[in-house]
Amino acid sequence: MEQLECCVCQVSVPVDAPHLGNRVYCARHWATLSHERPGIWRSGALHVAAAVAFAVIVALLARATQPALEGASLVIAGIALALTPAALWLAFFYAQDRLEPEPKGYVLGVFALGALLASAVAIPVLRDLFRVQDWLGSSPLVNLLGSILIVGFVQEFLKYAAVRYSVYLLPEFDERFDGILYGAAAGLGFGAALNIHYVVASRGANLAAVAIQVVVTALAQASFGGVTGYFLGRAKFEEEPIWWLPAGLALAATLNGVFTVALGSLTRSGSALSGQTTNPWYGLALAAIVAAVTLAALIYLMRRSNRLTLAGADLA
């Protein structure tokens, strides 16, 4: 007789154990599979609002007080700002975690892995191998295609890899929802590394612009990481076609590239209207909308999957 094993914990299960396609579950992991996590959705929404409020407050304060920071102290203040969106998210997440525990070490580990891959791979590959800075601006079409096919794919593949080849393989990844959680954590780590790189590379940039830029980057990178994570979460627990994960990666890369191009043209057209060199406020509004719409879409899709799973279980 064929031996059946839970696809999460590999415990032997009876032949009539619940299943999705060919994936078989023990009773415990069948119960966790479709966990709704309402608290974590709420802390995600609060984080988007808090990050935007943080950018607005710091930018207005910096303009009003014109702090006399220069050189090293300006860079240190910038790095503190660069890490704030991630710190805010972790604070919301940990506050929520008392109610719905998740292994904290794995969340921090995936965050760190995202940051490491951004600084050790994404930045050098895009700058030194593809040399995107030399050709991306040569025409609007080149900008769009390059932003999706080169920058978007490299960034989103690395976030995918940070989840797929670490926590995805472990029994602690035991809900579809975990894909979104860890994908967003990888994206926030990725964004934090890009932000520190941005602050160090643009030493002397003013704090108002830095505060807005770091929140835009953090919200966008976390949103696209969450999209890839949604596809990963379903791939682990359901039978998906072979194109499922590549399609998820392509969607995240496309959103990433289109966002970057829209951000560039919005902040530039803003400058034409207001007479400034750049207008980062339009970028902040765009990033807030993208993060809110992504969160709402992921909540909708996740609830739909869970409903379908439970409906199928009732039939069986």
Per the CB < 8 A criterion, the answer to whether 228 and 252 are in contact is yes
Q: Select from 120, 116, 119, 111 the least CA-distant residue to 163.
A: 111
Candidate list 9, 49, 129, 289; residue touching Zn ion; CB under 5 A: 9
What's the CA gap between 222 and 246, in Å, rounded? 19
Cβ distance to Zn ion smaller for residue 17 or 46: 17
Candidate list 24, 26, 81, 148; residue touching Zn ion; CB under 5 A: 26
Name the residue whose CB lies closest to Zn ion: 6
Per the CB < 8 A criterion, the answer to whether 47 and 92 are in contact is yes
What's the CA gap between 304 and 281, in Å, rounded? 35
Cβ distance to Zn ion smaller for residue 9 or 91: 9
The site map against Zn ion for 103-142 (x = CB under 5 A) is ----------------------------------------
Stretch of residues binding Zn ion (CB under 5 A), selected from 1-9, 132-140, 272-280, 297-305: 1-9
Taking the CA atoms of residue 126, residue 129, residue 130 and residue 132 in that order, the dihedral angle to the nearest 10 degrees is 50
Cβ distance to Zn ion smaller for residue 9 or 308: 9
Per the CB < 8 A criterion, the answer to whether 197 and 119 are in contact is yes
What's the CA gap between 78 and 210, in Å, rounded? 7
What's the CA gap between 196 and 198, in Å, rounded? 5
Assess 6 for contact with Zn ion (CB under 5 A): yes
Assess 33 for contact with Zn ion (CB under 5 A): no
Per the CB < 8 A criterion, the answer to whether 38 and 30 are in contact is no
Q: Select from 190, 191, 174, 184 the least CA-distant residue to 229.
A: 184
Site size with Zn ion, rule: CB under 5 A: 5
Candidate list 8, 33, 58, 215; residue touching Zn ion; CB under 5 A: 8
Report in angstroms how near the CB of residue 28 gets to Zn ion at its nearest: 6
Stretch of residues binding Zn ion (CB under 5 A), selected from 8-16, 41-49, 246-254, 296-304: 8-16
Please state the length of the chain: 316
Stretch of residues binding Zn ion (CB under 5 A), selected from 24-32, 80-88, 182-190, 195-203: 24-32
Candidate list 18, 20, 24, 29; residue touching Zn ion; CB under 5 A: 29
Stretch of residues binding Zn ion (CB under 5 A), selected from 9-17, 62-70, 203-211, 242-250: 9-17
Assess 20 for contact with Zn ion (CB under 5 A): no
Cβ distance to Zn ion smaller for residue 29 or 164: 29
Residue 20, strand partner residues: 23
Per the CB < 8 A criterion, the answer to whether 30 and 18 are in contact is yes
| Chain residues in the site for Zn ion (CB under 5 A) | 6, 8-9, 26, 29
